[in-house]
Amino acid sequence: MINDTPLQLLVRCEPVPYADRYRWWKKAHTSPAEPEAVGTSDLPMFVIENLNGGTQWDIFVSAVTSSGTEGPLSEPAQGDVLAATA
């Protein structure tokens, strides 16, 4: 049975020297589409909400400096399901 309840995913990465913020991206694992931005955080962690529970996701992060310089997307980041949302 496929779980289609929207989920929250806590994702994190190693801190990046000189990064002032982190930009988070997602894409369905089997999708040929480019990753889409889902938010930013000041810390190397972020909660992504309303993910489809029956889908495997690839989550990426890029580091951004105070001058606005953004690094490349990471390899897929680690994540933990937090809870099903109502």
Q: Residue 1 — very low, low, confident or very high, per pLDDT cuts 50/70/90? A: very low
Q: Residue 2 — very low, low, confident or very high, per pLDDT cuts 50/70/90? A: very low
pLDDT in tens, 40-73: 999 999 999 888 777 788 899 999 999 999 999 9
Q: Which fold has domain 7-84?
A: Immunoglobulin-like (2.60.40)
Please give the full DSSP string across 19-70, using - where no structure is assigned. -SEEEEEEEETT--SPPEEEEEESSSEEEEEEE-TTS-EEEEEEEE-TT--B
- The verdict on pTM exceeding 0.75 is yes
**In the chain, domain spans:** 7-84
pLDDT in tens, 6-43: 688 888 899 999 999 999 999 888 889 999 999 999 99
